[in-house]
Amino acid sequence: MATELFLASSNAGKLAEYKILARDALKQTGRKLELHLDLLPNFSQLPTFEENEPTFGENAAGKALHYSRLSGKMVFADDSGLVVPALGGAPGVRSARYAGADASDAEKIAKLLGELRCKQGQPRSAYFVCVIALAINGTAKAIVSAQANGEITEQERGSQGFGYDPVFFFPPLKKTFAELSVEEKNLHSHRGKAFQRLIATLPDA
């Protein structure tokens, strides 16, 4: 019997990304686990969980607990973002709203590069972090996290990915996240590594 996990989101693009991550993770480990991922039914009609907590972990866990309690299903939820220690941890949990609630990726990147203007070396160090929580009937089953370390470039590079990917340089591959193939990013990204850890908590079929 397949293990069913429901993503606390109405974002079909994010679901598609997680399906690829699941496929790659199971292929790498050779596990005999039949995993079925889907969006949480009627997500937009359920009472909203406001992601106003101060940490990625609290936002992810709160969201998973909230929607699992309402639906009775096994729900997973994530919170992720970019952290630049030299900016006091910004953009941090406000990564999606860093330049305003309706700001485009280009506007968020422009603000970030503006904040780091004239800074060189260590002040440009940064990392992506992702926390994923799994819950059922209002009870947490797993909370995992992972990060990818890098630095902020002075200009955008690459056309893949989204968000801050074009200015996040990943030293091990000498590329920005926006220059990586899908396979490379799944293997090395914060979300890819966190989801691998989540799958590792699930029992084999």
Closest CA to 164 of 143, 183, 190: 190
Does 205 fall in a domain? no
CB 7 within 8 A of CB 38: yes
Residue 168: the pLDDT is 98
Structural domain includes residue 190: yes
Q: Is 184 exposed, middle or buried (0-12, 13-18, 19+ CB in 10 A)?
A: middle
Within-domain flag for 66: yes
Give one DSSP letter per residue of 141-182, joined into a string: EEEEEEEEEEEE-SS---SSS-TTGGGEEETTTTEEGGGS-H
Residue 83 has pLDDT above 90, yes or no: yes
Number of domains in the chain: 1
Does the pLDDT at position 109 exceed 70?
Answer: yes
Does residue 128 belong to any structural domain of this protein? yes
Spatial contact of 80 and 56, defined as CB atoms under 8 Å apart: yes
How large is the average pLDDT for residues 187-193?
Answer: 93
Q: Is the per-residue pLDDT at 163 higher than 80?
A: yes
Of the candidates 43, 45, 32, 50, which has an alpha carbon nearest to the alpha carbon of residue 6?
43
Whole-angstrom distance, CA of residue 186 vs CA of residue 161: 11
Specify whether the CB–CB gap between 203 and 44 falls below 8 A. Answer: no
pTM here? Answer: 0.93
For the beta sheet containing 175-176, the strands, ordered from the edge strand earlier in sequence to the opposite edge, are: 35-39, 3-7, 74-83, 125-136, 139-152, 168-170, 175-176
> For residue 188, how many other CB atoms are within 10 A of its CB?
17
> Which of these is catalytic: 78, 79, 102, 204?
79
Domain-located, residue 194: yes
Scanning the chain, the segments in alpha helix (DSSP H) are 12-29, 56-71, 105-115, 182-188, 190-200
Cβ contact 105:167 at 8 Å = no
Residue 30 clears pLDDT 70, i.e. is over it: yes
Q: Is residue 16 part of a domain?
A: yes
Residue 80: inside a domain, yes or no?
Answer: yes
Q: What is the CATH number of the domain that holds 143?
A: 3.90.950.10
Q: Give yes or no: 78 in active site.
A: no
The verdict on residue 87 lying in a domain is yes
CA distance 48 to 71: 13
User: What is the pLDDT averaged over residues 177-192?
Assistant: 92
Q: Is the pLDDT of residue 45 over 90?
A: yes
Domain around 152: 3-200
Which of 34, 35, 45 lies closest to 71, judged by CA?
Answer: 45
